[in-house]
Amino acid sequence: MTGKIEHAVGSMVGSKSLKAKGIQKEQEARALKVQSEELAEAERLEAQASARRERAVAHGAHPHAGHLGGVPPATTGPNTNTFQ
């Protein structure tokens, strides 16, 4: 909102720097809004994926499939990257 006001005032009084500041603030606000929307969508998709993994495990998938990315990180010993 501040950006719009500065842009309008800058246009009215002919101040190029004030107008430019207003435009920059408007662009920053739009960028933050897009970022926020993208992060919210990513969170929603991650929650949905987690619920689907849990359902798959409940329906008989190997318990390791319940971890993000499938198999949890290897611990020690042979064949730590395979299901047993």
Taking only the tens place, the pLDDT of each residue in 1-59 is 766 777 677 777 777 888 888 889 999 999 999 999 999 999 999 999 999 999 988 98
| Three-class SS state of 21 | helix
Q: One-letter amino acid identity for 65? A: A
Question: How many Cα atoms within 13 Å fall on the side-chain side of residue 4?
Answer: 3
For the chain, helix, strand, coil in percent to 5 are 70, 0, 25
**pTM confidence score:** 0.56
pLDDT of amino acid 29: 94
| Three-class SS state of 29 | helix
